[in-house]
Amino acid sequence: MTACDAGFRRAAVPRRLYKFMRCDTLERVGYVRELLEHRRLKYSAVTAFNDPFEARPYIQIPAGSREEQRVALLRHIKDVRRIATVPVTHELSTYVEAGEFEKARDLFQEAIRIVLSGHPVACLAGTRRSILMWSLYADSHRGVCVHLSGRLEPLRTAWPIIYRSDYPSLDLNWTHMSDRAFTDVCILTKSIHWRHEQEYRLISPVEGQDSEVALVAEVGTLLPGSVTGLTLGALIRDDVAACLSGAATAAGLAVWRAQRSDHQYRLMFQRVRSRPAG
């Protein structure tokens, strides 16, 4: 199962995308510097995200008699082994033979998660103004937000998240779904409660697939010009702010500082560094 259909046309992403990042350890400050100085963006398995609903679609057991369901599920086990090339435990067949379909459903979900774990993604936002985003992903405004160009590949065709009230589900034909449809359900669908994020995702290329990203050990190197600026969190430590603003300026990037409004629940952004001449 590959990450996406190469020929699928997507709506244009915003001119700017944003990566919120924590700075609470030396290692995490190092990740920010790597992105600013060398355009190295860390990808992560969608199965490791903080939302427990992520990458866990509901498996629909087909209608029919218990015997018809048993036969359909046993056939699906063969499909999972053959098409998805995912190891299936003997326990799964045992549950199906015993008619314990709910227990079998849980193991089918884990098989899908194994498939998804092989396609790390990078999560980006369409705005830097969300107070919730700063709170959740930038260590309660003590982190940073790195600006990325929405005009260069693969950022230009990042995948927008689909926000829904209904939980995503798959029937037993998921092993035969198109790459695009599988990606929509399993990687690009989230609860409507997250819509404030205006999220876009980069999905790591599969082996042998042409890509503008050089991916090594879940770290992708973006094209020159992909990183365009840096916003420091309103509560970032002074020493961290000095370190990262210096790295950004040396890389020819503009720097902003977020500030809390005195009378509204909103952030303001003040330019603190000018792009060096030349």
pLDDT in tens, 52-96: 888 889 999 989 999 999 999 999 888 888 877 777 778 888 999
Average pLDDT over residues 18-45: 96
Which of the four pLDDT bands, split at 50, 70 and 90, describes residue 6?
Answer: very low
Weakest mean pLDDT among 114-118, 189-193, 195-199, 225-229 = 114-118
Average pLDDT over residues 227-231: 98
Other Cβ atoms less than 10 A from the Cβ of 241: the count is 19
Please give the pLDDT value at position 28.
Answer: 96
Is the pLDDT at 150 greater than 90? The verdict is: yes
Tell me the per-residue pLDDT of 174-213, one tens digit each, with 9 for 90 and over: 888 888 888 899 899 999 999 989 999 998 866 555 666 7
> Both ends of the chain: CA-CA distance in Å?
46
Is the pLDDT at 9 greater than 50? The verdict is: no
Tokens of 134: 């700063």
Average pLDDT over residues 42-47: 89
Give the phi and the psi of residue 107 in degrees, each rounded to 5.
-75, -35
Tokens of 148: 């990325």
Average pLDDT over residues 212-241: 91
DSSP lists the bridge partners of residue 121 as 44, 203
The three-point CA angle 232-151-162 to 5° equals: 80
Of 205, 227, 189, 225, whose CA–CA distance to 18 is shortest?
Answer: 227
**2 or 226, which is more confident:** 226
Of 62, 34, 194, 85, whose CA–CA distance to 74 is shortest?
Answer: 62
**203 or 241, which is more confident:** 241
Is the pLDDT at 161 greater than 90? The verdict is: yes
Q: How many helices (H) and strands (E) does the chain have?
A: 7, 15
Is the pLDDT at 121 greater than 70? The verdict is: yes
Average pLDDT over residues 21-33: 97
Tokens of 170: 């798959």
